Each structure stands twice: as structure tokens, then as C-alpha cells.
């Protein structure tokens, strides 16, 4: 950790620590205090970071910033517990002494307790009594240390709406008296699906978002992987589809460095510098995909992970595209998405031919999707120049960000 | 948007196809269904294996079947979403089983269960 921190830009240290440590402090404190006092836990964690920013600004960054944060958080938590005790004592003076003796003030920030608390917290936040968007919102806030404005941005919403949504979700969990613990073995499968969806959304937020800095986005991807790995490490949650999701994220992240150019532009798969692909992550992905290949449940994570595996195979073989096509055929039957429909059509053109793919593509009718028209443009390229240009121009009209516009313009120029 | 069932009928279900032929049909069927699913119009479906089938008749008489007496056999079905019967028919036209002469795809609207059909 030390080496990683020392080479990081100083001004990114606190945001980075916030994303990795905030949730640990909140989870441990919240488990200690009970979910009813989640806001207290959040406040103590936030205050810890404010104290850090002030102190480090004056005295410099301590040799072990994480230990420093834990220490401060611990002291703030103890003070809080102490104040509570005093208050209780005034109300019920006769039990005050007993309480003070029995009440363990120690805050356990050991790696084991941090891991357990986070895992349990994940299940609390992804509780079925609150709506999926609230689950994701709370996860972003508590498990990933996102600011309210960042969450608003991720949901294309505003701060007030998000604040209200998170507040209501917390109220609901409080009212339901949700315990911070792992679900029973009977419940775990159903509950796990929601947790995986949240991790998946979190990862996508990092992998596909165009508005965030490269560092933040990579942190998000790594955080999602870390959360998923916690599930793999626990024998009750180490299920085949959890491994499939992990494999998917490893394969995708292996191309993280290769897919963004120096100017922040998106580099297409075929144009990526393969030497920038991370071989270690590719082999880890292979390992988790093997672990996923047991049981009788074929989930979308299995299919997407296998597709992602084929993406790490650079050879442009018919075998590859035929496999990818069939995987997308299955995936679309489980869950439709415009992205999957477009990728399926691309694989179709590679496996079967452009002429046939044009017929299929024209039926998709995704008329507000820039990538749809980019794909049509690509398919018509070399077959019908007028239609290729027309489609690229439609894509250009819809495209919002500059790098995308430039890459479409390049395609028009090359016609 | 309504739901329609596309029912595949084979002229002669007992006809033996070569493994290579079966492989080709299977792939064509997967691509056909994938195409419908990529338009977000696929709901579900199943193949109905011909072996070990039974027909239960009046007076609870059970026979092996349905071969022997009737030529046509039900091979499977899919359910799709479509704006109209015509759109559902367009899906059916691309069904690979129609490559076999005499095979048919019957397109039927599924009752909504709200009394309106």
C-alpha cells in the first residue's frame, strides 16, 4: 500500500482513501452501533476525513495514512459512545456504573472485522425492502464513498432527489429493524442476486462512464472487484455466478489501459495496443471462469464472462465469432439490452457476413442510439457508400461528447 | 403489443436427419431466435422432443405417438411480442424449419386473459 500511495498525486490521496476506507469505517461503526445509528457512523467517518484534510494540510501526510485514519475514527467513536453513556447515565443513574463496566468501548478495526462488517453491510444495503435504485445509490454512498453530487451525476438526477432517496431508504431499513448480518443460507441465493447486480452496476459505472477522470474510474472498477472478491472469500457466498461476475470484471479490466488514448479518446478494440493488455488479469479471469463452471445455473454473468474471455483472444477466427454470436443469442434471451443487441449484430456480421448482418441490423430500430448508426455505417462501409455516410452522419448528430464525434468524423473521412 | 405463439409442425417427424443436418438446423434456429431477441421481441419457447411421446385418448386410452396415424408432428414453439399478426408472421417467415417442404409454422395470438382477447 505504501508504495502505491507514494507515487500517487498528493491531491488525489484523500479522494482515493475516501473511496477505499470510508466504507470500512462506516461498516465497522455501523455494525458496532446498530443500523439505526447509520448516520452517526457516516458522520464520524466524514469528520475523520475532514480532520485528516486539515491536519495533513498543515503537518504533512503521515507515514501510514490508513492507520492514522483508523486511529482518529476510533477516538471519535469512543467519544461518541462515552457521550451516549453519560447521557444514559443521567437518565438512569442507577445503572450507569454497571453499564460503564459492561460496555466495551473498544472499536475493532482488525482486517477480519472490517471484512465481515463490509460483507454484512453489503447485504443490508441490498435488502429487498428498498428499491433497486436506492440500493445502488446507498452502495455508491456507503460502500464506495461517492459524494451526493457524483451519485446524482451517475443517475442523471439532482442532489435533492438523491438525498431524499437515500434518506428514505435508510428510514425504511431502520423501520424494518434490519440486522447487520449475513442472510440465512435459505435466503442467500435470492439476496445475493441483488448484491451482484449492484456490484455489476458499480463496475459499469467505472468502466463505461465518460465523465470521470481515468483514476476515479479505475478505482471504481477495482472497488467493484474488491467487493466481489469478498463474496468469493466467504464460503456461504462463494457461488458459481459470483465467480462468473469476477471473471467478467477481470477480463474487462485487463484492457483498461489500452482502451483510452492519451487525450481521453476511446480506442476501439481492433485498434488497441495489445501490449497494454494486462496478462495477469486475463489469467485471473480464466481462473475465476473455471471456478464458475460448476452447478446447473447459467446466468448472464456466465455468458458475459465467456464473451469477455473471447475478447481477450485477439485472433480474428470464425470459431471466435461463431462462439460470441451464440453467447449473445443466449444472453439476449435471458436479458435484452440495446448494447447486447448491437454487439450480437456485430458478431453476426463477423461470423456470417455483412450483407446478412445489414438485414438483421436494419430491424433493430434503435433510432436514438449513436452506436446503432455507427454500426450501420460500419456494415455499409465497402458495400454502399451513400448509406454508410448517411448512417455515420446520423450517429454524429446524436453523439454528445467530443472524442466520440471525432472518431465518427474520422470514419466519414475514410469512406 | 400483443403476444403470439409460433407453432412448428413437421410434415414427418419420424424422418431421420443426419447429425450434420441437425447441427445446422440447431445453429440456424439459435440465430433466428437471437435475431428476434435482439429486437427485444422474444418471450420464450421450447422444443418438443419426438421420442417417448404419448397420446391420451377418450376413455383414457394411452398410445405411443403421435406417429403412425397422423403425419404432422408438433416440433416446438416460441412466443414473441409483436405489434400485429403481420409482424409475427414476418418473424415466422424466417423460421428455419420452413426449409423443409411441407413443414409449417402456425401463428396464433395469445389471449390476454383480460376478457378482451
Domain assignment of residue B9, given as a range: 2-109
- Residue extents of the structural domains in chain A: 1-109, 327-415
Residue B31: closest C-alpha in chain A: A329
Contact A326 B40 (CB under 8 A): no
pLDDT confidence band for A205 (50 / 70 / 90): confident
CA distance A380 to chain B (A): 19
Phi, psi (degrees; rounded to nearest 5) at A213: -70, 155
> Grid coordinates representing A205?
459505472
In a domain, residue B30? The reply is yes
Contact B38 A326 (CB under 8 A): no
CATH code of the domain covering residue B64: 3.30.70.1060
Among candidates A93, A103, A117, A105, which has minimal Cα distance to A21?
Answer: A117
In a domain, residue B12? The reply is yes
pLDDT, chain A, mean: 87
Weakest-pLDDT range from A92-101, A240-249, B43-52, B59-68: A92-101
| A372 has a pLDDT exceeding 90 | yes
Distance in Å from the first CA to the final CA of chain B: 12
Among candidates A363, A194, A386, A125, which has minimal Cα distance to B32?
Answer: A363
Contact B38 A365 (CB under 8 A): no
Residues 6+ apart with CB under 8 A from B99: none
| A85 has a pLDDT exceeding 80 | no
Percent pLDDT > 90 in chain A is 49
Fold of domain A327-415: 1.25.40
How many CB contacts within 8 angstroms connect chain A with chain B? Answer: 45
For residue B44, list chain A residues with Cβ-Cβ distance below 8 A.
333
| H or E element in which residue B55 lies | strand B54-57
For residue A358, list chain B residues with Cβ-Cβ distance below 8 A.
none
pLDDT value, residue A2: 41
CA distance B80 to chain A (A): 11
What does the pLDDT look like over A175-204, one tens digit per residue? 988 888 888 888 888 889 889 988 998 888
In a domain, residue B36? The reply is yes
pLDDT value, residue B77: 94
Is residue B111 within 8 A of residue B117, CB to CB? The reply is yes
For residue B40, list chain A residues with Cβ-Cβ distance below 8 A.
336, 341
How many independent structural domains does chain B possess?
1
Q: How far apart are CA A243 and CA A306, in angstroms?
A: 12
DSSP letters of A132-189? HHHHHHHIIIIIT---HHHHHHHTT--HHHHHHHHHHHHHHHHHTT--SSPPPHHHHH
pLDDT value, residue A5: 46
In a domain, residue B115? The reply is no
Which residue has better confidence, A267 or A309? Answer: A309
Among candidates A287, A410, A303, A411, which has minimal Cα distance to A311?
Answer: A303
**Cross-chain CB nearest to B34 (options A328, A363, A365):** A328
Q: Give the distance from CA A78 to its chain's centroid.
A: 32
pLDDT value, residue A319: 93
Mean pLDDT of A89-103: 54
**Cross-chain CB nearest to B38 (options A326, A341, A352):** A341
| A7 has a pLDDT exceeding 70 | no
**Cross-chain CB nearest to A332 (options B27, B34, B44):** B34
Amino acid at each position: 500500500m505504501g508504495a502505491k500511495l507514494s507515487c500517487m498525486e498528493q491531491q488525489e490521496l484523500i479522494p482515493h482513501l475516501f473511496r477505499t476506507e470510508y466504507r470500512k469505517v462506516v461498516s465497522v461503526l455501523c455494525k458496532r452501533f446498530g443500523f439505526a445509528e447509520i448516520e452517526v457512523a457516516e458522520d464520524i467517518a466524514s469528520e475523520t476525513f475532514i480532520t485528516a484534510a486539515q491536519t495533513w494540510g498543515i503537518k504533512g501526510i503521515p507515514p501510514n495514512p490508513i492507520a492514522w485514519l483508523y486511529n482518529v475514527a476510533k477516538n471519535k467513536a469512543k467519544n461518541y459512545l462515552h457521550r451516549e453513556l453519560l447521557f444514559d447515565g443521567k437518565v438512569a443513574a442507577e445503572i450507569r456504573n454497571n453499564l460503564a463496566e459492561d460496555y466495551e468501548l473498544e472499536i475493532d478495526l482488525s482486517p477480519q472485522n472490517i471484512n465481515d462488517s463490509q460483507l454484512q453491510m453489503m447485504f443490508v444495503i441490498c435488502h429487498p425492502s428498498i428499491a433497486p435504485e436506492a440500493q445502488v445509490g446507498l452502495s455508491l454512498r456507503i460502500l464506495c464513498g461517492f459524494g451526493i453530487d457524483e451519485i446524482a451525476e451517475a443517475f442523471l438526477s439532482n442532489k435533492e432527489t438523491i438525498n431524499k432517496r437515500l434518506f428514505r431508504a435508510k428510514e425504511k431499513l431502520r423501520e424494518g429493524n434490519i440486522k447487520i448480518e449475513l442472510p440465512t443460507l435459505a435466503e442467500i441465493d435470492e439476496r445475493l442476486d441483488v448484491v451482484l447486480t449492484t456490484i455489476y452496476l458499480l463496475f459499469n459505472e467505472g468502466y463505461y462512464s465518460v465523465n470521470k477522470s481515468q483514476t476515479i474510474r479505475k478505482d471504481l472498477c477495482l472497488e467493484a472487484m474488491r467487493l466481489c472478491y469478498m463474496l468469493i472469500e466467504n464460503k456461504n457466498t462463494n457461488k458459481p455466478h459470483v465467480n462468473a461476475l469476477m471473471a467478467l470484471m477481470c477480463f474487462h479490466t485487463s484492457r483498461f489501459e489500452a482502451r483510452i488514448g492519451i487525450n481521453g479518446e476511446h480506442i476501439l478494440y481492433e485498434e488497441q495496443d495489445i501490449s497494454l493488455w494486462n496478462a495477469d488479469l486475463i489469467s485471473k479471469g480464466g481462473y475465476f471462469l473455471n471456478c464458475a463452471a460448476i452447478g446447473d445455473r447459467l446466468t448472464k454473468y456466465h455468458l458475459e464472462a465467456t464473451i469477455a474471455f473471447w475478447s481477450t483472444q485477439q485472433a480474428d477466427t470464425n470459431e471466435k465469432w461463431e462462439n460470441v454470436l451464440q453467447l449473445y443469442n443466449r444472453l439476449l434471451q435471458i436479458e435484452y439490452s440495446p448494447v447486447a443487441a448491437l454487439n450480437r449484430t456485430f458478431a453476426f456480421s463477423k461470423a456470417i457476413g455483412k450483407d446478412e448482418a445489414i438485414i438483421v441490423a436494419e430491424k433493430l430500430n434503435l433510432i436514438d442510439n449513436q452506436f446503432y448508426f455507427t454500426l450501420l455505417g460500419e456494415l455499409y462501409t465497402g458495400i454502399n457508400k451513400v448509406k454508410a455516410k448517411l448512417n455515420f452522419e446520423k450517429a454524429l448528430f446524436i453523439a454528445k461528447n467530443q472524442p466520440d464525434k471525432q472518431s465518427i468524423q474520422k470514419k466519414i473521412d475514410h469512406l | 403489443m400483443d403476444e403470439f405463439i409460433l407453432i412448428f409442425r413437421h410434415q414427418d417427424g419420424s424422418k431421420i436427419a443426419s447429425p450434420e443436418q441437425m447441427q445446422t438446423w440447431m445453429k440456424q434456429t439459435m440465430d433466428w431466435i437471437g435475431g428476434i431477441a435482439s429486437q427485444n421481441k422474444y418471450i420464450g419457447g421450447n422444443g418438443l422432443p419426438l421420442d417417448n411421446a404419448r397420446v391420451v385418448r377418450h376413455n383414457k386410452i394411452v398410445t405411443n405417438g403421435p406417429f403412425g396415424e397422423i403425419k404432422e408432428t408438433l416440433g416446438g414453439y416460441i412466443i414473441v411480442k409483436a405489434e400485429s399478426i403481420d409482424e409475427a408472421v414476418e418473424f415466422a417467415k424466417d423460421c428455419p424449419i420452413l426449409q423443409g417442404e411441407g413443414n409449417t409454422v402456425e401463428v396464433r395470438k395469445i389471449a390476454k386473459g383480460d376478457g378482451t382477447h
